Amino acid sequence: MHPEPSDQYVQSFARGLAVIRAFDADHPRMTLSEVAERTGLTRAAARRFLHTLVGLKYVSGDGRLFELTPRVLELGFSYLSALTLPELVQPHLEALSHELGESTSASVLDGADIVYVARVPTRRIMNVGITIGTRFPAHATSMGRVLLAALPDEELEPLLRSLHAEHHTDRTVTDPGALRALLLEVREQGWALVDQELEIGVRSIAAPVHARDGRVIAAVNVSGAATTSSLERLRTDYLPALLRTAAQIDEALRHSGAVAAAR
């Protein structure tokens, strides 16, 4: 559907964008005739727009076939660079939640706590309601362990020595030596699974989110009820989907200006 023409509507600009949008995964390279057919333009008009885009280096061609160049990514960069981390993460969490039918979240580290910056709940499985800004002790959460494991040793060791870890359930790991060993395992495998250490009946699995320079700036997780989310299911079903989502967020961050802070 095209908007109604007005003195504010630049038809030639709209047609140029239509030429760019004509290229997709099924049509990565097209002839002039194919571009004209997919856009509804005449061959003459399609030729003018294609050669203009070639001149601007958004399209390349060998005289017969045309294709987009990586420079078209600039067109979306301004939008992505204006996104905050929660805004960028949210649609990925929504897709992951829809795929698995479980709650998904993202958090950042603040001292010895995690702070929730994005969340997609499916049903309430904890006694404490979780909202944006909710804080939990990092040592007892999957996202917290991912974030703690990512700290350099010169930051992690003082934190562990000063940590006053509380028992939230009879499963909570509080011993600094045992916690250090778990964090080293998380650092090596690249994800963390916590089984009812924050609250009985709740299991979660988390993965790191990386900035452009490779630093871990956030974590994302999937959480579910222990009665329906077995440890095997978390590892075999949830983990691959979670790691895929984290990689997609990493890719989006590489093209954006989003930072760890929840602005």
Three-class SS of the chain: CCCCCCCCCCHHHHHHHHHHHHCECCECEEEHHHHHHHHCCCHHHHHHHHHHHHHCCCEEECCCEEEECHHHHHHHHHHHHCCCHHHHHHHHHHHHHHHHCCEEEEEEEECCEEEEEEEECCCCCCCCCCCCCCEEEHHHCHHHHHHHHCCCHHHHHHHHHHCCCCCCCCCCCCCHHHHHHHHHHHHHHCCEEEECCCCCCEEEEEEEEECCCCCEEEEEEEEEECCCCCHHHHHHHHHHHHHHHHHHHHHHHHCCCCCCCCC
CB 20 within 8 A of CB 38: no
Amino acid (one-letter) located at 125? I
Indicate whether 2 pLDDT > 70: no
- The pair of structure tokens assigned to 252 is 């989006």
More confident residue, 86 or 210: 210
d(CA 130, CA 134): 6
- For residue 224, the cross-strand partners are 203
d(CA 231, CA 238): 10
User: Does the pTM of the predicted model rise above 0.85?
Assistant: no
d(CA 189, CA 143): 14
Q: How many CB atoms lie within 10 A of CB 187?
A: 18
Place of tokens 């362990």: 145
Handedness of CA 207, 105, 168, 225 (dihedral sign): negative
The predicted-structure confidence for 91-126, as pLDDT tens digits, reads as follows 999 999 999 999 999 999 988 999 999 999 987 665
Instruction: Specify the pLDDT at position 31.
Output: 97
Predicted confidence band at 6 (pLDDT cuts at 50, 70, 90)? low
Predicted confidence band at 261 (pLDDT cuts at 50, 70, 90)? very low
Indicate whether 175 pLDDT > 80: yes
Rounded alpha-carbon distances, angstroms, from residue 177 to 97, 137, 174, 184: 34, 17, 9, 11
Mean pLDDT of 200-228: 93
d(CA 166, CA 137): 9
Q: In sequence order, what are the residues at sequence separation of 6 or more whose Cβ sits closer than 8 angstroms to the Cβ of residue 248?
A: 92
Q: Minimal CA–CA distance to 68: which of 11, 19, 13?
A: 19
Percent of the chain with pLDDT over 70: 89
Predicted confidence band at 5 (pLDDT cuts at 50, 70, 90)? low
CB 59 within 8 A of CB 53: yes
More confident residue, 258 or 38: 38
Predicted confidence band at 255 (pLDDT cuts at 50, 70, 90)? confident
The predicted-structure confidence for 29-74, as pLDDT tens digits, reads as follows 999 999 999 999 999 999 999 999 999 999 999 989 999 998 887 7
Q: Minimal CA–CA distance to 96: which of 227, 238, 231, 250?
A: 238
Q: How many CB atoms lie within 10 A of CB 262?
A: 20
Mean pLDDT of 190-218: 94
